Amino acid sequence: MVNSETLERFDQKVQELLWSARKQTIELMNTPLKVDTKSSANDLVTNVDRQNEQLIRKRLLEIDPSARIVGEEESFNHKIDPDLNGNVWIIDPIDGTLNFVKQRDHFAIMVALYCDGVPTLGYIMDVMNKRLYHAWRGHGAYVNKLRLKEPANSSLADSLIAINGWQLIKNHCHQQEIAQQAAGLRMYGSAGIEIIHVLNGQLGGYTSRLKPWDIAAGMVIAEELGLLVKTIDDQPLNVLSSNTVLVATKKVCQDIWQITK
């Protein structure tokens, strides 16, 4: 168990850390990027992904020396132990690397803390808009210093929704039928940026097959705002596994589960 004084200290330090990571990202963006491929030609990693992960990891260990840290680039090619006991920090050093490389926009930096499996602290830095979305479970969700309001509980027919483009083409988990029943479809290419639109009530939901670092931070903030974060067929998530995730209003979830179950 982590007491609330400790969490308050973590929260303050991690917010500072996200602003430092943003500063480093902006500085490195103005130098030539070193871009490598991972599993396929459109699965990229840059020197900025690696340097951000190193910075965040080093600073998290100063803040919480006993932390277990799971970061995308270090975990690449390793099996992740799904044990959620203790303090587990989960890092996505650049979410939307393809956008980062091709657009220099629409990407995020994400950090989350799970305490004995409970989604506790979550941070999504929208780098180019200079906005830090963050939540501490039970203490509200904020963008910078402004408190976020719970989004309206809109239905699928009444909502714009986001779906990962490649998965939609393959009709993964009935996604084409889901898209057809929505008011409209949007694709932003970064799980973090897509989840931000759900937090703001601009989208009724987002679905994609995601890795732990793609959803960990968004889950904390979304749940704090009364949104649901489940699998697309209404199962609870284990954040350290890969899941086809649905982040959405309660009504959108009910409408989608009618299609997928």
**Residue 153 tokens, joined:** 């509980």
8, 16, 43, 116: which one binds ligand 2AM (CB under 6 A): 43
Collapsing DSSP to helix, strand or coil, 123 comes out as strand
Residues 198-227 that bind Ca ion (CB under 5 A): 214
Name which of 11 and 72 has its Cβ closer to Ca ion.
Answer: 72
25, 51, 164, 231: which one binds ligand 2AM (CB under 6 A): 164
CB 126 within 8 A of CB 101: no
Contact residues for 39 (Cβ-Cβ < 8 A; gap 6+): none
CB 107 within 8 A of CB 190: yes
Give CA separation, 154 vs 30, 218, 250, 253, 261, in Å.
Answer: 41, 19, 8, 10, 20
Name which of 7 and 195 has its Cβ closer to ligand 2AM.
Answer: 195
Name which of 52 and 190 has its Cβ closer to ligand 2AM.
Answer: 190
CB 125 within 8 A of CB 14: no
Residue 92 assigned ligand-binding role: yes
Q: Site mask, ligand 2AM, residues 191-230, x = CB under 6 A? A: x-------------------x--x----------------
Interacting span for ligand 2AM (CB under 6 A) from 13-21, 119-127, 184-192, 221-229 = 184-192
Residue 158 assigned ligand-binding role: no
Q: What are the φ/ψ torsions at residue 47 (nearest 5 degrees)?
A: -60, -30
Can residue 96 be called a binding residue for ligand 2AM (CB under 6 A)?
A: yes
CB 123 within 8 A of CB 111: yes
Can residue 97 be called a binding residue for ligand 2AM (CB under 6 A)?
A: yes
Question: Which residues does the annotation place in the binding site?
Answer: 72, 92, 94-95, 214
What residue ranges bind ligand 2AM (CB under 6 A)? 39, 43, 92, 95-97, 164, 189-191, 211, 214
